[in-house]
Amino acid sequence: MQGLLIFVLMFGGAFLTALLAASFYWASLHVRARQAGTELVLEGTEQAGQSAVLRDEDLSTIRVWAVLLERFSHVEVLRRMIDEANLKWSVGRVTLTMLFIGTAISTILWQVEVIPLLICVPIVALAVSAPYLYIRRMRRKRFSAFASQFPEALDSLTRALKSGYPLGPAMEMLAMEQPEPLASEMRRTREEWNLGVSWDHALDSLAERIPLPEVYMFVAAVKLQNKVGGRLNDVLARLSETMRDNASLESEVRAIAAHSKITGMVLTVLPWIIGIMMFVMSPEYMGIMLRRSEGRTMLGCVVLGNIVAHFVIRRVAQVKM
């Protein structure tokens, strides 16, 4: 165990040293270019109407890694997901963390000869995708909190409009009174309007940041009222009631589907419990599976099949509204 820990520390030090060396090399190229009175620009890194310095700061503080990330189209999707999850991470930090975790886990599993290759592949894939899965989880959690707060916020907005407040001050009241994450999004929409952006564009930006059906309906209602007129407070009151009914229906459907999810969880955990019990009660009998290559392959197939079956059951039990 001590030797494995020393190996992991040495590998991490070598990985960080390589990154620092690449960064220093890139910085020396910039210094030489400035001393010569020129600007170091890589082909394909400049885009019309966008500063390369600002774009690199958004992607990564490491210039070399930022230039590499610009060549992939999925970088913008990852950047948007990080922003929607409200995490203070950069795309470069996330991708470098995924690369480091994948390389470290692969190296460790390569040293462990007992684990077959069929099991190593899904373990490495799961370890690499761990930061991405965490971002998705935080994004889903934030959207869920926003959706649960939104009907109450619409009621407050309706009362403010009935009292004679214009839409701008009413939105500012929501930003001051409502909890996070709704308060920050309303504050951001209000600030965009204060900077001279029209309400239609500010609300469209809100719908892009929070891609929920409830937000789309709210934006459509406000934009329609701005065009044709009408009593916006009555529309928002009915919209709030509809959202509450929809949330109640989703809760009922979720409760019905919970039985299938629990059944799938039991079917997933049960083989592991039985396997551990057999190893404890009869280690010689089960040791044959680990000593022989055929047995390790069979165990790998069983583990892989169990994992795949778990996600298949969750997919079947999932009900989309």
pTM equals 0.67
Residue position matching structure tokens 């044709």: 228
- Rounded CA-CA distance 297/259 in Å is 33
Run of H or E including 169: helix 167-177
Residue 16: predicted pLDDT:
60
Q: How many angstroms separate the Cα of 164 from the Cα of each of 66, 172, 200, 222?
A: 50, 14, 21, 16
Q: How many angstroms separate the Cα of 2 from the Cα of each of 9, 15, 107, 166?
A: 11, 20, 16, 67
Sign of the Cα torsion 154, 159, 164, 169 reads negative
Long-range contacts of 160-168 (CB under 8 A, 24+ apart): 161/232, 161/233, 161/236, 162/233, 167/199, 167/222, 167/232, 168/193, 168/194
Residue 25: predicted pLDDT:
55
Q: How many angstroms separate the Cα of 243 from the Cα of each of 110, 226, 252, 256, 319?
A: 52, 22, 14, 20, 18
Structure token pair of residue 222? 């406000």
Run of H or E including 312: helix 293-317
- Rounded CA-CA distance 41/46 in Å is 8
Cα of first residue to Cα of last residue in the chain, in angstroms, is 49
Q: How many angstroms separate the Cα of 30 from the Cα of each of 42, 208, 221?
A: 11, 37, 52
In eight-state DSSP terms, residue 210 is S
Residue of 311, 277, 288, 285 whose CA lies nearest to 126: 311
- Rounded CA-CA distance 321/210 in Å is 18
Residue 30: predicted pLDDT:
57
Low-confidence ranges of the chain (pLDDT < 50): 1, 4, 39-57
Residue 99: predicted pLDDT:
86
**Count of H-run helices and E-run strands, the chain:** 14, 0
